[in-house]
Amino acid sequence: MIVFYLVFFFLVLRFSVTLFNYISRPLLPRSPKHYQDLVSVLIPARNEAACIGLLLESIRTQDYQNIEVIVLDDASTDETFAIGEQFSFSDNRFKVVKGKALPADWLGKNYACYQLAEQAKGRYLLFLDADEIVHSGLIHAAVHRMKMQKLDLLSLFTNQLMPSLGEKLVVPLMHYLLLNLLPLRLVRLSTNPSFAAASGQFMLFEAESYRHYQWHEQVKTKVVEDVEIMKLIKLEQGRGETLLANGLIQCRMYTSFTEALSGFSKNLLAGFGYSIFGLFLYLFLVVLGPLAMAWYLGLNLALLAFALILLSRVMIALLSGQSVFWNLILHPIQMLVLVLVAVLSMQKYLTKTVSWKGRTIPST
């Protein structure tokens, strides 16, 4: 009985966190002002020919004009460099550079970001992934937030594009884990590094602070470098904030179920500090516990538990701009997929076979 009541307590706690997030609405507000500060838009790219053109075109046509856009081609074997070069020919705000050979003690994306920062001249450094699309108002809103809150780092969880069923089974788990476990407002309001979250899909740094601390160099071996940087900023008494993108930037992270499984399993165990016990405990409390509780404790308590789960999914879907219908219908399958992702993540970690974009990622 103690175990079942522990499961129920954790469910109520997670519902309370979700409710707090829904009421506090941690969305990036639009800016009442327009700004002219130079923003360096920095894009690490490795074999991104299928999508980087859409991102660069969306940057070119958005409303913030004082930008420099630098694409770093990280040893691509496709047309990534050529696409970036085409934009540089037609718009002198764009340029593309070849990345240096990856040192043995760096992870690929972290080293690419480090090189990009060396090239940048802006007052603000905006790191974006190549599979995104930005909309007018994004950079004004982000710069306004940086100034008003005196931030060293603003990170956004982007709105996710999921046209295929396979993507709908995996990608919503990101916002589910985030908004069901962490009161997002506490990333800024609390100085405790435990309240740290960030997304490498959008990282806007105050350049002077970045150059002083060299954040990417400090986390050069970290898989979840975004969260680690946010923790470091808190430890250095800096100011960081993480918000939801509010429709101002979209991303299609993966293009298939298999690709999504590979991507999420690369990061999941790292997100739990490589604690296999911690991940097992979470899976029991979130996936297996409610099923066992429904079987053992009777209909009324089971209905209450399922109501809390469904209401949480509704609130998370509304906050993240996702489909309420699909997330409710697919919730049981998504939980099974979460177990599968966890198993793959642990298997890759134990066998030291974590890899991404053709590179092996060392287990730490």
- Which domains are assigned to the chain? 2-24+258-353 (no CATH), 39-255 (3.90.550.10)
* Dihedrals phi, psi of 217, to nearest 5 degrees: -70, -35
Task: Name the band, by pLDDT with cuts 50, 70 and 90, for residue 156.
Answer: very high
The pLDDT, as a whole number, for residue 363 is 58
pTM: 0.93
Model confidence at 229: pLDDT above 90: yes
**Nearest to residue 195, comparing CAs of 1, 340, 17?**
17
Q: For 110-124, give the secondary structure using H, E and C.
A: HHHHHHHHHHCCCCE
DSSP 3-state assignment of 72? strand
pLDDT digits (tens, 9 = 90+) for 37-74: 999 999 999 999 999 999 999 999 999 999 999 999 99
**Nearest to residue 317, comparing CAs of 7, 113, 18, 92?**
18
Q: Please say whether the beta carbons of 37 and 124 come within 8 A.
A: yes
Helix axes 299-320, 289-297, angle to 10 degrees: 150
The pLDDT, as a whole number, for residue 250 is 97
pLDDT digits (tens, 9 = 90+) for 74-94: 999 999 999 999 999 999 999
Q: Please say whether the beta carbons of 96 and 71 come within 8 A.
A: yes
Strands (E), the chain: 39-45, 67-73, 94-98, 124-128, 132-134, 153-157, 159-160, 202-206, 240-244, 249-251, 355-356, 359-360
